[in-house]
């Protein structure tokens, strides 16, 4: 798999999962931690897809990996924002510094991509055809719903 494909897939996974966690958290669950939100999403997905125990375990692995990645992003957010502020405050835009920031982020994504893809594959491979179809339908509906807004 190409490096750029890994980056795109991992980015989409992280955004998708975090979007799902935050979307479910928007329904009176703002005070929940990421772990609590992930558990909420896990329970909801388990009920909607009627997952068996091994599928639930696989989804929990996926949720744990995504939650860990999101926690790392949250922890580094303040430092990242201060770096961006410094770049914007300089009289001449530091292209090398901006490129270095992007390369650092890309390297972190490349390091985490195999774990994210492996845990997603573990979960998806454990689903039966009906569950996959229901999941695809849900994702399609969510994408259409977001486009309407």
pLDDT in tens, 61-111: 988 888 888 888 888 888 888 888 998 888 998 889 888 988 888 888 888
> What percentage of residues in the chain have a pLDDT greater than 70?
77
Number of domains in the chain: 1
Residue 25 inside a domain? The answer is: yes
Residue 144 inside a domain? The answer is: no
Residue 127 inside a domain? The answer is: yes
Residue 58 exposed, middle or buried by CB count within 10 Å (0-12, 13-18, 19+): buried
More confident residue, 146 or 127: 127
> What percentage of residues in the chain have a pLDDT greater than 90?
5
Mind listing the pLDDT tens digit for each residue in 19-73?
Answer: 666 665 555 556 777 788 888 888 888 888 888 999 889 988 988 888 888 888 8
Question: Which pLDDT value is given to residue 118?
Answer: 92
Q: Residue 55: which of 119, 142, 133 has the closest Cα?
A: 119
Residue 114 inside a domain? The answer is: yes
Residue 38 inside a domain? The answer is: yes
Residue 28 inside a domain? The answer is: yes
Mind listing the pLDDT tens digit for each residue in 111-121?
Answer: 888 998 999 89
Range of the domain at 79: 3-139
pTM score: 0.67
Residue 148 inside a domain? The answer is: no
Residue 55 inside a domain? The answer is: yes
Mean pLDDT across the stretch 133-146?
Answer: 81
* 122-133 b/e (C-beta count within 10 Å ≥ 16 → b): bbeebbeeebee
């Amino acid at each position: 798999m190409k490096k750029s494909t890994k980056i795109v897939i991992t980015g989409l996974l992280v955004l998708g999962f975090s979007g799902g966690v935050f979307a479910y958290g928007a329904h009176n669950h703002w005070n929940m931690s990421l772990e609590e939100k992930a558990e909420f999403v896990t329970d909801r997905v388990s009920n909607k897809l009627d997952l068996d125990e091994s599928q639930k375990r696989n989804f929990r692995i996926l949720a744990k990996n995504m939650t860990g990645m999101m926690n790392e992003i949250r922890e580094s957010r303040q430092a990242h924002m201060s770096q961006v502020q410094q770049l914007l405050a300089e009289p001449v835009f530091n292209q090398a510094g901006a490129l270095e920031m992007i390369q650092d982020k890309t390297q972190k994504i490349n390091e985490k991509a195999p774990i994210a893809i492996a845990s997603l594959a573990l979960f998806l491979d454990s689903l039966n055809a009906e569950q996959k179809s229901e999941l695809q339908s849900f994702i399609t509906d969510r994408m259409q719903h977001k486009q309407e807004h």
